[in-house]
Amino acid sequence: MDRLYTPWRYDYIKGTSGEKSGHGTSCVFCSLRDRPADDEQTFILQRARHNFVVLNIYPYTSGHLMIVPYDHAAELSDISKETSDELMDLAKRAQAILRDVYHPHGFNLGINLGQAAGAGVADHLHLHILPRWSGDSNFMTTVAETRVLP
User: Higher-confidence residue: 120 or 50?
Assistant: 50
- Count: domains in the chain: 1
Which CATH number does the domain housing residue 56 bear? 3.30.428.10
Digit-coded pLDDT (tens) for 111-149: 999 989 888 899 999 999 999 999 887 655 555 666 555
Structural domain of 126:
38-144
Contact 48, 90 (CB under 8 A): yes
Residue 135 placed within a domain:
yes
- Taking residues 7-20, report their average pLDDT: 50
Dihedral of the alpha carbons of 41, 43, 111, 63, in degrees to the nearest 10: -140
Backbone conformation region of residue 17, classed left if phi is above 0, alpha if psi is from -120 to 50, else beta: alpha
**pLDDT for 22 beyond 70:** no
Digit-coded pLDDT (tens) for 85-107: 999 999 999 999 999 999 999 99
Contact 141, 149 (CB under 8 A): no
Q: 3-state SS of the chain: helix, strand, coil percent to 5?
A: 35, 20, 45
Catalytic residue numbers?
126
